[in-house]
Structure 1
Amino acid sequence: MSTIIHFLQKFLNITIFDVFILFLLSFISYIINLAIKYPNNGVGTNYRKDLPGPKGVPIFGNLFTFMFKKNTYIELKQEWANKYGSPYTFTIFKRRHVVSNDPQTIEYVFKTNFKNFKRDPAFIETFHDLIGDGITTVEGYMWKFQRKLISQQFQGRNFKDLAFASVIRQSEIMIDHLKKYADSGKLIDLKDLFFRFTIDTFGDLTFGIDFECLSNIDKKAKFVTSIEYAQAVSHERVLQPFRKLIEKYSKKGQRMHEACKYLDDYIYKIINSHRSNLKVEEKPVNNMLTLLMDAVDDNGKKFNDKELRDIILNLIIAGRDTTALALSWMMYEIMANQSIENLLLQEINSFLTAEKPILLYDDIKLFKYTTATFYETLRLYPIVPVNGRVCIKNDVLPNNIPIYAGEFVEYNLYIMGRDEKIWGDDAKQFNPKRFLNLKNDLKPNKFKFASFHTGSRACLGEQLATLEAVILAIML
């Protein structure tokens, strides 16, 4: 820049002020040109007059609508779906979103032509500080390798025995806490208790770790508060195009760095401790951490500590958040619907009696209404309501809507769960019985009911999540 300025001053005989005005006029001309080229959509996006959608502002599209919205994110999306139908489109800065709340779209993107759709690079970049290159973000061979390993830990009789024992153990601690609060008449944050329950259960089952969230109920562990802060900042980044500059000089950025550093140190300490124990124990501990440490890829290479850290943190967050939130909504609906609670008690009391008060693993499948209540919760309150993939090459969706390379194909399970065309006239009602009339073991079409995701990326922890929710509901 200094060379250019020197050249302009020497050969054109103009002042620094003249140079500044020249560059300012050039910059303004450039912005005007972009505004003309992208009159109501984000810079670099295709103009889609073939699809309805909210009008945006030049260059930034609908970014400011999200940043300064008066209602919640889900409410805004629902308002647009009601107004424009499906599919509709909007843009956020450099990305066009095409929203198609249709089971056929989910099947096409996540199964039929899965190879032509990839993870959103913006998601990977904004969450990378927290979850790194774990199974949530990686693609290709590394994703397949991690998924294959992790799936081994969630299958077979060994998992069933370990999971059942772990869930029962942590559920009993939960019940003890609730009894104490009931006896004292004090209020309790039930959602917070569910979060403590799921993280302790997952840590116990998969890594042999006690996070001490239930045993130390009067305060939150720093490990947990660090996760929660890093998650909150990562979510905020989605709507901050200049977040790198902002975080570099802000207290929030410093706190984010400190939270991630603490998580790194905590996980590395777990890895090193486990590795030391494996060296001295005659019989290796059979859990997921041992499996991951011993795993060798096709090139004979083992995971390094950074890769282990990413995988472990991905699993902990997934194992904690999703089931805890589902349990919270489930209990909310049970408490709001006396008839639902009566039917649950009727089913539970028909299998657990004074003569047989203890729950056994093989009994779980008998509790169909309890399981249906959990599924109905996820139908109306999906834990990951909005999902989608980025198109790699130009494509056409089943509804004959063209999708261009770089566009994000999105669906919204929250809206789909309330769609009468998909779920019938009572779609907005909480009615677990809808799952009891199905032939396929309570489950509807997996692209219609995609609360556990679907296709190649279907949730590996579905069995564990269902087990946790059903057992805890029965014991409560």
Structure 2
Amino acid sequence: MLESLLILSIFLPLLFIIIFKPFQTKTGIKSPPKSYPFIGHYFSIRANGNHLVEWVTKLVLNSPTLTTYIHRPFGQKRVITANPSVVKHILKTNFLTYQKGDVFRASFHDFIGDGIFNVSGDEWKFIRQLSSHEFNTNSLRHFVEDVVDIELNERLIPILANAAANNTIIDLQDILQRFSFDSICKISFGYDPKYLIPSLPQSKFAIAFDDALRTTTERFHNITPWKLKRFLNIGSEKRLKEAVSEIRQFSKKVLNQKKQESSIQTVDLLSRFLCSGHTDENFLTDMVINTILAGRETTSASLTWYFWLLSKNPLVISEIVREINEVKSDARVYDEVKDMVYTHASLCESLRLYPPVPVDSKTALADDILPDGTAVKKGMVVTYSPYAMGRVEEAWGPDWMDFRPERWLKNDETTKKVRFVPKDPYTYSVFQAGPRICLGKDMAFLQMKRLVAGVIGRFDIIPATGDDFEPVMTTLTSKMKGGFPVKIMERR
């Protein structure tokens, strides 16, 4: 009731200008976007609330410069772009001008604190240097390999084999989230939540993490000012407070246990930071939460869309199976996943179409002019969309809508082998680019390729909803709305 009164008190003076009722198109996207005094594109944003990513994509792709403005309520103006030259400008060329900004930091601070994803300037440089050193060690890479192998062979594959034997339907998205959560918790602070075991149990820590991420992201979309709701401790802000308390208390409990150990094995990231002399409780807790955030949602979402795309492209599956068999016959039990060139290309192609972070934003710290001539004022948010950039015909050709791993491959005249050809990171910005490029990129590919080799080499994954199943991407994250129900069959 109190939330409703707050919304009414804010928008009652605006009712006299509600003269526009958007219509529904066959695609589900309501158009055209019409801006009104004071409330801007509020009605269009509200009407497209269930598919904002697709709506934004349509706007930028219809712009000659691949850049446009969105007018938010109360005079806020935001730049939205899919222009590679603009992306390079904000992520590299003029990097110091485009940072997280106060709005982003305030919105996410309750959840991720002063971790690497929520700081800028000297704070960011310090954490980046520490993290970069640890991520580049061979010992961490071997530890990640061990974690993934155990989770894959002792938990994921037995669950899939059981589903195949009993002809049961499982939600593959849920299974992959559990796989990613177990893996990243072990890698981050040496804790095994045992989220992916046959009983598929609930986990207070995992549920709290989901609640915190969802509610924090909703702060950008809700009309009711979230700071007022937090002050009154009502609704979603009350739930967020409870979830964050659960996450931080548990993280600090694990941290204190490690501090009390007589001999710390430097395998997981938390132990590595402790052994290097960093003992500040808040700093280490923020580090752990940020690492879990980066590793859980992105990997599971990426693999969910990947397996759906494979189910629609049997020829791609055949090539992946052929490559897996070649690696096996070469006396390697796919230890060297770097040799799986076609599989790597297929993952990149899936990420092009369904990036785990479909949009990302920076805030301008000074007035600027973007390379395409767009004017940016100090304090303005500039958002780039990897999802839209994967659909730019000028970059990917008229067949951009096709799932075609071959677009990443080229025949090497010298070796007579097919080699992988990476794309310009400012055209393919799935892992960001420039100084903030994702530190865990190689770790993510290692994890995904090992999982694909283990699963596709043995099982067929068939959507339980039929061949015509067209999943919907949720607005707040890149998850599939309603999950991904599948049947598992042993590969002949």
- Structures share a fold, TM > 0.5? yes
Aligned length: 420
- 2:221 matched to 1:239? yes
Alignment of structure 1 residues 130-169 onto 2, 5 Å? 130-169=111-150
How far off is 1:96 after superposition? 1.3
Q: 2:300 aligns with which of 324, 349, 354?
A: 324
CA separation of 1:124/1:303 partners in 2, compared to 1, >3 Å: closer, same or farther?
farther
Deviations 1:252-279 (A, max 9, x none): 33222111111111011011011111xx
Question: Could you tell me whether the CA contact under 8 Å between 2:70 and 2:79 is conserved in 1?
Answer: yes
Deviations 1:26-50 (A, max 9, x none): xxxxx89xx99xxx9xxxxxxxxxx
**2:110 matched to 1:129?**
yes
Aligned pair 1:177/2:154, yes or no? Answer: no
Q: Which amino acid aligns with 2:387?
A: Y
Residue matched to 1:470: 449
Letter in 1 for 2:446: L
Equivalent residues of 2:365, 2:378 under 8 A apart: yes
Which of 399, 413, 416 matches 2:372?
399
User: Where do residues 223-302 of structure 1 align in structure 2 (5 Å cutoff)?
Assistant: 223-241=205-223, 242-247=225-230, 248-277=232-261, 280-281=262-263, 284-295=265-276, 302=278
Q: Which residue does the alignment assign to 1:310? A: 286
- How far is 1:291 from its partner? 2.7
1:207 matched to 2:180? The reply is no
Unaligned runs of 5+ in 2: 1-12, 21-31, 413-418, 456-492
Provide the residue aligned with 2:432 in structure 1.
Answer: 453
1-structure distance, mates of 2:276, 2:265 = 14
Query: For each residue in 1:270-317, what CA deviation from the matched residue of structure 2 results, as whole angstroms up to 9, or x when unmatched?
Result: 11011111xx12x64343112323446xxxxx4521222111101111
Q: Secondary structure at the match of 1:352?
A: helix
- Give the C-alpha shift of residue 319 in structure 1: 0.9
Correspondent of 1:193 among 175, 182, 200 = 175
Secondary structure in 1 matching 2:410: coil
Task: Kindly state the Cα deviation for residue 416 of structure 1 after the two structures are TM-superposed.
Answer: 1.2
Greater Cα radius of gyration, structure 1 or 2: 1
Give me the whole-angstrom Cα distance separating, in 1, the residues matched to 2:258 and 2:135.
Answer: 20
SS at match of 1:469: helix
* 1:358 is aligned to 2:339: no
- Whole-Å Cα distance in 2 between the matches of residues 166 and 442 of structure 1? 29
Change (3 A) 1:285 1:411: closer
Given that 1:107 and 1:447 are in contact with CA atoms closer than 8 Å, whether structure 2 keeps it comes out as: yes
- Please tell me the residue identity of whatever aligns with 2:91: F
RMSD (CA atoms): 2.5
Aligned 8 A contact 1:202 1:319 in 2: yes
Larger fraction in helix: 1
What is the DSSP-based 3-state SS (H/G/I as helix, E as strand, rest coil) of the residue aligned with 1:437? Answer: strand
Deviations along 1:158-217, one digit per CA (max 9) or x if unpaired, are 223222222111111211111011111111111111111112112223322112111364
| 1:156, distance to aligned residue in structure 2 (A) | 3.0
Query: In the alignment, is residue 91 of structure 1 matched against residue 91 of structure 2?
Result: no
Over 3 Å counting, the alpha-carbon distance change for 1:434 and 1:472 in structure 2 is same
Percent sequence identity is 28
- Within the alignment, does 1:75 sit opposite 2:51 as a pair? no
AA partner of residue 333 (structure 2): I
Residue 438 of structure 1, CA deviation: 8.5
